[in-house]
Structure 1
Amino acid sequence: MKPPLGEYYDVNGRKLLLHREGSGGPAVVFLPGAGAVGMDYWDAQRQAAAFTTSVFYDRAGTGWSDGIDLPRSSTEATDELRALLDVAEIPGPYVLAGHSLGGLYARHYAIRFPGEVAGLVLMEPAHEDYRAYMPRELVERWDAWDPADALPDELPGEILEFYRVLFEQEMADWPAGLREPLVDSHVSREWLLTGIREAANVKAVHDEIRAAGPLPDVPMIILTAVAVDPFKRAVSAGASDELLQAETDGKTRLYNDFAASVPRGENRIVEDAGHVTLPFRRPEAAVRAIRDVLAQ
């Protein structure tokens, strides 16, 4: 299926999708989470294009980019992004706006290539100390979860329809030419599997970031989404409201501590969105953070 937006660029023999709008710099680059694609950040990306060059892309093995065996190391993912931005002739330095796993990749990029990063906007970022802030019951649930059981060979139609309705609700006011192919792809077995595969080596990625060293002194704004959205409830079946609230409290403490650990860090609470729905429901929160990072 042809992507609704973007152009292809050849990186290491693979075609990678990248879409840009706007002009000037530093450019902002959106790094998707596992199971997400660049176009999920279209609303924030187009708003940021009003004041700077604004870019989203699909990593190899995800979205509309060429396939590749997953998972990969963070070093591979950040090398790939660097090469893509070079081939696409988007000069640094960059503001990296990373969501979930993409937030961890954004941090690693900044550590590895500090002269190329002007700032960080981290939306619900994956973090190597996340489990340490969580209640024991929740960690035990995660340890008991088998990714092999997450997607049976045949997904019941009602499950696919459930996810279709959720995605359609989040993108209800998007142009149909973007929304329809994006929703259709999100509820495909291949895209659902991609999210599980890409995050399968998260412990090794955590080890990479621990070994990488400190962040450079750049402005960093974290966005913590404290609502429990329908996607979270779907993947947390059986978890009590109290346990889900304990997770929210734990991640808020983590992000507060993380922001305080760097010279120019800030954690902002976003009340009316959850982990998955943050870029859909509150794109302006990301755009405001990008503006504020650029102003520093």
Structure 2
Amino acid sequence: MLHRSGTGGPAVVLLPGSGLVGLDYLNLHDRIAELTTSVLYDRAGTGWSDPAELPRSAAEVTDELRDLLTVAGVPEPYLLAGHSLGGAYARHFAQRFPDAVAGLLLLDPFHEDMVTRAPRRVLDLLAEMKSRELPEPSREQLDAARGQLLAFFEAWPDDVRVPLAEHHLGSWRTAWQEDGNLYDEVSAELRSGPGLPDVPTIVLSAMGRDAVQAHLWPEDLLREINDGKRALHAELAASVPRGEHRVLEDAGHGWLHEERPDAVLQAVTDLLASN
């Protein structure tokens, strides 16, 4: 699924985080489309795109994205805005197709060294999580989640709000599946690739409270994880000549584009002005 709005270039292509889909960024997309061409899409195996076996390699995902944009007639180069796992894919796209990239906006991106430099407790807890079978939610849990999602998506258009909430209720395993090769195959692809091209790059770190992460990690450990993330993001920004690191203390990982759309739009505006 691809949705394109606006005119001009470079086109901003939004790469969703794991467990999210293009329509989760619709409000941001509409505001970007006032500035330039904006593109939302769902990776194969996610959202309203064709089914695919998950997980997939970063090479498969980036090949698919370039082919999709070519078939849709979206001209290169692109300003890639990748969130979380989408940030890893944006980086790999830039590693493989540097001439097709006009800039990078990395929204609290996954970094391949997050686990290797994490406290031992993180590795132990990750191993424990991966060893568990995901339980099926009860009818009561689904009804409660539906109400929470509908309230959260209150700002979305009426014809999107309910289908988007229902999609998330039916696809909650997708993030778990898509992340299945994150710490080995995808991380290895990022490490073995060349450095990022010399294009304007902004890395946004979300350091505020995130409800999902607060549920997964003890408070003291989450502070250590976030401290490590901040350092890695700073290093990533410093690895390119025109890189900049910006920290958002009041936005969480999963929905920083909704909690601080002003900061994301400012970053997009600054990157467009650099081209």
TM range (shorter): over 0.9
Counterpart secondary structure, 1:119: strand
SS at match of 1:172: helix
Look up the equivalent residue of 1:171 and give its one-letter code: F
CA distance in 2, matches of 1:133, 1:158: 39
Aligned to 1:49: 33
Q: Residue 154 of structure 2 aligns with which residue?
A: 172
1:72-122: CA deviation from partner (whole Å, max 9, x where unpaired): 111110000000001100001100000111101101111111111000000
* Counterpart for residue 281 of structure 1: 259
CA distance in 2, matches of 1:162, 1:108: 38
Please report the TM-score for the alignment, with normalisation by the length of structure 2.
Answer: 0.94
* Structure 1 counterpart of 2:98: 114
Counterpart for residue 173 of structure 2: 193
Per-residue deviation, residues 146-187 of structure 1 (Å, max 9, x unmatched):
2652x22x3123433454344334322222221111011101
Give 1:141-220 correspondences, 5 Å limit.
141-146=125-130, 148-149=132-133, 151-152=134-135, 154-188=136-170, 191-202=171-182, 203-220=184-201
Question: Contact 1:40 / 1:279 at 8 angstroms: preserved in 2?
Answer: no
Whole-angstrom distance in 1 between the partners of 2:151 and 2:227: 27
Task: Report the number of matched residues.
Answer: 273
Equivalent residues of 1:25, 1:52 under 8 A apart: yes
Separation in structure 1 between the aligned mates of residue 247 and residue 29 of structure 2, nearest angstrom? 20
Q: What is the TM-score when the length of structure 1 is the normalising length?
A: 0.88
Offset at 1:253? 1.1
Equivalent residue number for residue 79 of structure 1: 63
Q: CA deviation at 1:289?
A: 0.8
Does the CA contact (< 8 Å) of 1:133 and 1:251 recur in 2?
no
Unaligned runs of 5+ in 1: 1-16
**Aligned mates of 1:105, 1:171 — CA distance in 2:** 26
* Partner-residue secondary structure (3-state), 1:267: strand
Is the contact between residue 78 and residue 105 of structure 1 (CA under 8 Å) also seen in structure 2?
yes
The unaligned stretches of length 5 or more in structure 2 are: none
Shift of 1:267: 1.3
Shift of residue 41 of structure 1? 0.9
- SS of residue paired to 2:150: helix
> What per-residue deviation string (whole Å, max 9, x for no partner) do you get for residues 44-72 of structure 1?
11111011000010011100011011111
The whole-number CA distance in structure 1 between the counterparts of 2:242 and 2:140 is 46
Between the aligned residues of both structures, percent identity stands at 48
Residue 192 of structure 2 corresponds to residue 229 of structure 1: no
CA-atom RMSD in angstroms: 1.5
Identify if the C-alpha distance between structure 1 residues 128 and 81 changes in structure 2 by more than 3 Å, giving closer, same or farther. Answer: same
